[in-house]
Amino acid sequence: MNKQAYDIVNKLEENREYNQRELAELTGYAVGSVNASLKQAKEEGYIDENKCLTDKAKKELETKKPKNAVILAAGYGMRMVPINVEVPKGLLEVKGEPLIERMICQLHQAGIREIYVVVGFMKEQYEYLIDKYGVELVFNKDYAAKNNLHSLNCVANRLGNTYIVPCDIWCKENPFSGHEWYSWYMVTEQKDERSSVRVNRKKELVSVKGEEEGNCMIGIAYLLQNEAKRVQEALKVMAGQKEYDHAFWEQALWDGKRMMTEPREVKSEMVCEINTYEELRELDSDSNQLQSGVIQLIRQVLACEEKEITEIRALKKGMTNRSFQFSCRGKKYIMRIPGEGTDKMINRKQEYDVYTQLAGRDITDPVIYMSPENGYKITEYMDGVRNCNSEEPEDVKRCMQYLKKFHELNLKVAHAFDLYDQIEYYESLWGEETSAYRDYQDTKKRVYELRQYIDAQPKQVALTHIDAVCDNFLIRGDETYLIDWEYAGMQDVHVDIAMFAIYAMYDREQIDQLIDFYFDGDTDRSVRIKIYCYIATCGLLWSNWCEYKRICGVEFGEYSLKQYRYAKEYYRIVKKELEKDAKRYE
């Protein structure tokens, strides 16, 4: 039978007393289509003259009966800022009930007890579900760097007559059933410009064309054994290709320009995907999560009401922090929230002291509030600014000149940033873990050999940004600003040049040009070699930092590998340069 006929038979299985008009209202099909489907069902032996299901239909239902469910709950839920600082998105409460618990209870009502919850971010908060509901937690170790296609791949071998469910969905009525006839994917009638799929006239799920809007994608699906096998095969291929690192699992459903599943269309008022703080507020204004400590802090700092905090949206996840933008009374602000493991890596009291030293100098973005205890920070949003483009020489030259001008202020704070102490400290954070690099100890030993040369060189020790990378320079017209002073401390100011270079992943030619920009083309050879030493040393420093973040579940891909390469390659470059000097004096 076709989808339409299956839907009609499905309703008859619930109540064979439904007449044609009632069936039309329940399914959304025209009365004529209902009559045609009833005729087809009889002819193919699925219902008898009394509209009762036949043994053939019952046997087919048994083979297609839902076996298990997968709930995808590994992601950060970045758009849920600031709530995602305190609770994972699956545990958001609507009408006093966590989303994931409601979903599990609905599955239980449909007779489904074999439930796998794929976890990652704040995985410990889901642990209680094992005892309360008998679910099995499956950890996705790649949750920080890859999207939910990789979460589904963690349980690919369990797929077959399976419901697949995102954890951030609230369904007014139970979307699950003890019986299913075909594989489907849920969408609503509502149009969504972000959607990649639409329901065509043939009631197929096909890819959108050009500028057209698709149907709102809900993410709930049911996969029979045949489609599940095809999805398994697709997942296996995609999971091994870098281009799918940020893919949603739905990409495994595509078969050319259409999905291999049928559409399950529901009314938009029957289901809600909760992606943002404001969507939660709209669905349940009394939700406990709306009493977020972060929101209360904003209320206190800006002396406003919670309803005045609007247009909340996550910004690009930084390497150290999570930040979001919001509006209040016609002004825009940015709230910074420290990321995973940051409390061990940043001394917030020292950072507070740096900002105190910078206050009133028009050097950085306007700070409205900063906590010296936890590092929460609110700044005014700066309209019309852009980041420095590290591939644009004029931008780079401008930033180096600005950096030099800042260094000439010769500002002082009470704390220092010692490169070698920090290398050791980041290594100590690994605990029982060892470096992922097999030759780490040899590399470290060689980098430490450079310390003697560095110590012998003249230095200008002053407040140094330490993290003076292209992304932290903001440009607007003739104005330049340097933001994010978390690591700043007393150090040789030339370290900032090295830091810019290695973050931009420059080659030697670009690094030499960078140095020339800073010194206006007039650099002592010994200073250039000293900066090469800093490049090697800072490469090892940030490599150790990346290794700790990896242990925390945060991966930085090529950046991490490149930092370690700087440590090795610039040790060799320094040695060659010093050998040239030695031969010159022989």
Contact assessment for residue 327 and residue 333, using Cβ atoms and an 8 Å cutoff: yes
Q: Are residues 398 and 506 in the same domain?
A: yes
CA atoms of 61 and 58, how far apart (whole Å): 5
- Domain around 424: 386-584
DSSP string, 431-461: TT---SSTTHHHHHHHHHHTHHHHHHS---E
Same domain (yes/no): 50, 76: no
Give the separation between CA 404 and CA 400, rounded to whole angstroms. 6
In a domain, 284, yes or no: no
Q: Please give the pLDDT value at position 424.
A: 96
Place of tokens 């995609």: 238
**Residue at 482 is within a domain:** yes
Residue 340 has what pLDDT? 57
CATH code at position 317: 3.30.200
pLDDT at residue 80, as a whole number: 53
Residue 103 and residue 187 in one domain: yes
Q: How far apart (Å, rounded) are the C-alpha atoms in residues 316 and 98?
A: 27
Domain assignment of residue 320, yes or no: yes
Q: Which residues neighbour 495 within 8 Å (Cβ) at sequence distance 6 or greater?
A: 419, 464, 466, 534, 538
Backbone angles phi, psi at 28, to 5 degrees: 85, 5
What are the start-end ranges of the E strands in 167-282?
Answer: 169-171, 184-192, 197-199, 205-207, 214-223, 254-255, 258-259, 262-266, 271-273
Please indicate, yes or no, whether residues 307 and 422 belong to a single structural domain of this protein.
no
Q: Are residues 82 and 196 in the same domain?
A: yes
**Nearest-angstrom CA–CA distance, 7 and 29:** 10
Give yes or no: residues 423 and 552 share one domain: yes
Cβ-in-10-Å burial (0-12, 13-18, 19+) of 15 comes to exposed
Residue 445 burial (10 A CB sphere; 0-12, 13-18, 19+): exposed
The β-bridge partners of 416 are: 490
404 within some domain: yes
CA dist., res. 523 & res. 526, Å (int): 8
Given 273, 302, 330, which residue is the final one in a domain?
A: 273
Residue 278 belongs to some domain of the structure? no
CA dist., res. 143 & res. 88, Å (int) = 13
- Map tokens 């919850």 to a residue: 117
* Domain-ending residue, one of 37, 57, 77: 57
Q: Residue 93: give its domain's CATH number.
A: 3.90.550.10
Chunked into runs of 10 residues, the chain (586 residues) has average pLDDT values of: 84 83 85 89 89 90 95 75 68 87 96 96 92 96 88 96 94 92 94 89 88 90 96 95 92 94 91 74 62 79 89 64 84 82 78 94 92 90 94 97 97 97 94 93 97 96 96 95 95 98 96 97 94 98 91 79 96 95 74
Closest CA to 183 of 207, 156, 162: 162
Same domain, 354 and 326: yes
User: Do residues 120 and 179 share a domain?
Assistant: yes
Tell me how far CA of residue 216 lies from CA of 122, 166, 190, in angstroms.
28, 14, 6
Same domain, 127 and 184: yes
Helix axis angle for 31-43 and 3-14, nearest 10°, is: 90
**Are 456 and 324 members of one domain?**
no
**Strands, E, within 371-506: which ranges?**
377-380, 386-387, 461-464, 473-476, 479-482, 489-492
Contact 521, 403 (CB under 8 A): no
Q: CATH number of the domain at 475, please.
A: 3.90.1200.10
CATH number at residue 31: 1.10.10
Side-chain half-sphere exposure of 485, counting CA atoms within 13 A = 28
285 is a domain residue:
no
- Residue 559 belongs to what H/E stretch? helix 558-584
- Please check whether residues 429 and 509 belong to one and the same domain: yes
* 166 and 136 inside one domain: yes
CA 56/CA 354 separation, integer angstroms: 77
pLDDT of residue 319: 46
Number of domains in the chain: 4
Alpha carbon of 149 to those of 146, 166, 231, 253: distances in Å? 8, 12, 11, 11
Please give the Cα distance from 377 to 141 (Å, whole number): 30
